[in-house]
Structure 1
């Protein structure tokens, strides 16, 4: 069985990925699209296809069907569709194919799942416990971890945005931070007093870990460099697992919690959209469904005629 992509089919993928980088698509997107398209071309080559122009709609459908039969999730199927559509639209514009075979593909429907979120009490308990543990830790680690949890929950920032924070991004006069989100778009996010207190406690110890590799990074790893996203994810999981009642969530779980609790507290949808950095309001609206589901669950538990 062929496991490598022949040059005639692989070179266009390389050029397409260079195009994605040039238009500033994220590294994760480029890697995912490359993986999808290489899988498509291996599949096509096994069917005797040697040139890009030979890939037709039937071949694309056969590839998607094979992926589905192989256990691909609906979300993965949706990405396969997006990869093929984007690639062949680009190939058509570049004159690599005369017609776009992916134009007739139908997108896979992805069921919308409501995210698990912490309750406000669980979030408060997790933060308070983290701050307490930080006070018992003689090293800077506990204070850094507490600051990570507080900023993730207070600002609803993405883990990449948190790790990218520089000292110049902290605005104490306005109690805000500046983060750089998807597409290198900057936005301003407010933080509350507990998050600033946790940051102050960490910054008072940050100098103990500073090395030439630290630069202006707010959050550091134990060796002094800018903290890695994987380390942040591990820290969040560790702290949430310490609370027996809290779901085991990562940094994105704290982002979900922040959005849900804001809406439950009466914040308007547009403000939450701006804080989260969502381009589409429909992305933010999922949190209104979470709140509705909570109300329904409470009604069914408590109302005698539910």
Structure 2
């Protein structure tokens, strides 16, 4: 098949996607752009027939995507993966349509997308959220302040926080017993701010909430006296962040990310943070160290007299 024939094969595939599969215009444009890049790559290596393409050729194209060239900048793992998906689809179609007998792309896997770094809130945003949670001084506000203080103060997952029972909290020793994934338990220290907030809630608010329900050992209760759900706890945080004027996206996991990042920024050992978060492997926790390294780079770049330029 000539180079123009290869182009015709790609056009046939794109027609198939647009007419028979009914892909959206924007999606079809992405496929067209990705396959044009592939055809250009093949032409630069004087590959003019489908049967000339083997697995090594497709793998070389993937390397080319990641390394880039003078004509085309390197692609991120996510963009390269999308392009490889288009190429794999094209070759699968070519076999099914009888244009060739071998699919050279079937064993070439798209690259794993770059691991997204957790987004931590600045301490000022966290403090603004916690302050907003305690106002006005009502039964539910006392609960909300205690809940958010526990989430940020312990790094608990939202399911762990709403799953707390009264016996899991020891305000004298300042510890909470959290039950994580696989029912694994861990004892986590609680700071003074969280202790004060929980004490105020247990003394001044929870008895009233309990009286509205059938009695439950749960620490955090809803307005009807039942255990607070994950969805309701999530809503508490989102609404409080909005009242505090925090414009960043906020979720319960954001507080967990912030807990870990702020600890590492303060000099905590990564293995200590691993234990506090309940991670089975330190590898999971080490992604937070990348965040702190970025913070250090930023400080260095702005503060060191010979770091500019």
Cα-to-partner distance string for 1:32-79 (whole Å, 9 max, x where unaligned): xxxxxxxxxxxxxxxxxxxxxxxxxxxxxxxxxxxxxxxxx97xx9xx
**Structure 1 equivalent of residue 23 of structure 2:** none
Task: Report the 3-state secondary structure (helix = DSSP H, G, I; strand = E; otherwise coil) of the residue aligned with 1:291.
Answer: helix
- TM-superposed CA distance for 1:114, in Å, is 1.1
Aligned partners of 2:213 and 2:224 also within 8 Å: no
* Structure 2 portions without partners, runs of 5+: 1-76, 82-106
Whole-Å Cα distance in 2 between the matches of residues 168 and 281 of structure 1? 29
**Structure 1 equivalent of residue 118 of structure 2:** 115
- TM-superposed CA distance for 1:235, in Å, is 0.9
Whole-Å Cα distance in 1 between the matches of residues 193 and 130 of structure 2? 9
Whole-Å Cα distance in 2 between the matches of residues 148 and 172 of structure 1? 15
Aligned partners of 2:132 and 2:243 also within 8 Å: no
Whole-Å Cα distance in 1 between the matches of residues 114 and 256 of structure 2? 21
**Structure 2 equivalent of residue 235 of structure 1:** 236
- TM-superposed CA distance for 1:176, in Å, is 0.2
The 5 Å alignment of 1:122-133 reads 122-131=125-134, 133=135
**Structure 1 equivalent of residue 57 of structure 2:** none
- TM-superposed CA distance for 1:108, in Å, is 5.9
**Alignment partner of 1:292 is 2:290:** no
The 5 Å alignment of 1:192-211 reads 192-204=191-203, 205-210=205-210, 211=212
The 5 Å alignment of 1:257-296 reads 257-296=258-297
**Structure 2 equivalent of residue 152 of structure 1:** 151
Aligned partners of 1:116 and 1:247 also within 8 Å: no
Aligned residues: 202
The 5 Å alignment of 1:3-152 reads 109-131=112-134, 133=135, 136-137=136-137, 139-152=138-151
1:150–1:246 CA distance, 2 compared to 1 (3 A): farther
- TM-superposed CA distance for 1:201, in Å, is 1.1
- Over the residues paired in the alignment, what is the CA RMSD in angstroms? 2.3
1:253–1:222 CA distance, 2 compared to 1 (3 A): same
Cα-to-partner distance string for 1:243-297 (whole Å, 9 max, x where unaligned): 3355221110000000011111111111110010000101101111111111222
* Structure 1 portions without partners, runs of 5+: 1-72, 78-103
What TM-score comes out, normalization by structure 2 length? 0.61
1:108–1:279 CA distance, 2 compared to 1 (3 A): farther
User: Which structure: larger Rg?
Assistant: 2
Whole-Å Cα distance in 1 between the matches of residues 157 and 304 of structure 2? 38
